[in-house]
Structure 1
Amino acid sequence: MITTALSATVHGQALHPTPIARRELLPDDVDVRVTFCGVCHSDLHALHTPPEQGGIFPLVPGHEFVGEVVAVGSSVIDFAPGDPVAVGNIVDSCGTCRMCHAGQENFCTEFPTLTYGGRDRVDGTVTAGAYAGRYVVRDRFVYHRPTALDPAAVAPLMCAGITVWEPLRTSGVGPGTRLGVVGIGGLGHLAIRLGRALGAEVTVFTTTPAKVADAQRLGAEHVVISTDDGAMEDARSSLDLILDTVAVAHDLTPYLRSLDLDGTLFNLGHLGPVRVQATDLLIGRKRLASAGSGGHRWTQDLLNFCGEHGITADIEVLPAAEVNTALERLARGDVRYRFVLDLSSLHEPRQ
């Protein structure tokens, strides 16, 4: 099957419409017409990584998307043509390892197949992402999308949302939990909303005083300016759980010190090397953890919860033709809080 995608043929090239091939439907495949796809910092990173450093080109980004089912393989029973669906950054896994059996396909011991830049488990080709008119994906990694929500604003839930949701759920966040969120961006603004909806008392850490009102609008009960030493001292030992969503390298020490006895800091935004003093963990028996993406169980759980509570991302929708503008603005931090591409211009005429 041929579809139109937004592709960079070589490193450093702007994205442009290009015909690409999708595999023919296998028995457990779902063919999705992509309507909206979020623009993630991971897309920027992939586009900016040269081949000599592991970059893969040609490259079609996009790994948080929504759409509707066009067709299904012969063994698919959970989806039918016309169904509204959502797909995230994993489109396959081995299905046989301990993690897959536990519903944690995101931790597949043979490594999950990524929505783009991964290795197709069937034909060995490099996967091309969802900045495209169509996507073919294994049914296990397609999710029922709540129809009451704005579909464009659902798309970022499939990456930014699930990244914060799985640690919230597995940590048992609920009424009485004192939750901290570091940073108010694509991940952070959803962490605030979801934490508050779970019943937690939410404290937000930000370097930007201008974001105080926005943090409160999103549901934060307390906002701490992290550059204010006095405010950080007042926050010491005050929280049970912290989700750090900042995407650049930074000192984790002040946030570890903000945890109470047996508290946990999830480092979610920056996945590079970190350095901590063992005593900052020792005093108070604190834990440093991380998480990424989500397995099938928690991803559908997130969508169901958001449908019940009316939770979506704050987005700015741009047409597919403005994809390079979206990427340039994202690189400057000029978005609150997620760009989403309208990909309708890439669709083939309906039969």
Structure 2
Amino acid sequence: MNSALRLLTVLGGSILLTVAAGWAVDLLLRRADARHPETPLWNLLRRCRRALQIVLLAALLKGAYPQTAWRPLRENEAAVGRVLSLALIGAGAWLIVGMASALVESGYARYATGTRDPARVRRVRTQVTLIMRVVTAVVAMVAAAAMLLTFPSFRALGTSLLASAGIIGIVAGVAAQSTLGNLFAGFQIAFGDMVRIGDTVVVAGEWGVVEDITLTFLAVRTWDERRITMPVSYFTTRPFENWSRGGVQMTGTVFLHCDHSAPVDLMRDKVHEILHHCREWDGRGWDVAVTETTPSTIVVRAIVTAKDADDLWTVRCAVREQLIAWLAEKHPDALPRLVLASAPEAGGAPLDGKTRHPR
């Protein structure tokens, strides 16, 4: 009965201390967040409350459970201690990742608020994303190794593994050559500013926006909501179009095939009117000119500008649709036509090529 009472006291006391410590830390973080609203760090750190409580509970139980003198615990002391150690290591890794994530996200948020250049913000966002994934992977590997070392059999195995580490490293390097190449390519993309999250790119003939970048692959969201997943090494070994590099402003063209009698001056005025009523046009520039002629048509090119690729697509579609509708309504003869009428006789020769003599 005495040992059972000790067990309840240890469990209850540990749980109460854990809850009280978590409540106190959360209160301090809320007050710090209220005093410093310019930084989201304190509010982000509140997400680490659960991990902190698990760490505290596991540490308290690991230090206090031998004092309970409860027979089942004494008989399984090694197993109980190992379980608490595993919980402590896992929760500690969770806490470290959460704190690192809060620090990185807070720094990125402050940088994004104080920077007006969208390209720099996307660059920092890409770097922050990859850095956090590297930190998470490293912490997870260290935690997994620490958990394995709690088992005596793995400790003995570690000595023999270290002796053959050179051979294993060579074999692993050859086997994981593609994976390691993608890993280093991910770092090259992140810190070489080749492509960033949010950039508009054209890869493998597909137009889309970079949605996610990991250490091994890159996801591009196309205009029709498809996702193209490509290894990051693709972007370091092959050419691709990055429409967002050097600024997101873009210039596009609209081509129309018209009849030779098309009123180009009136079309120029109509394009100007369409652009002034189009919200996506940024006002930087426009032009209308005849760029090509064929025996049956002329090619009229309209140049328009927009602040980014999405708006440019909208402006081009609006100009194309409204200009064709205006021509069809006001100047139908300006649209291309198929001439089906018979050609007049040349020099008195009939259409069938036979000579006809007057009677």
Q: TM-score range by the shorter chain?
A: under 0.3
Bigger relative contact order, structure 1 or 2 (CA pairs below 8 A, ≥6 apart): 1
- Structure with greater helix share of residues: 2
Rg larger in structure: 2
TM, length-normalised to structure 2: 0.22
TM, length-normalised to structure 1: 0.22
- Structure with greater strand share of residues: 1
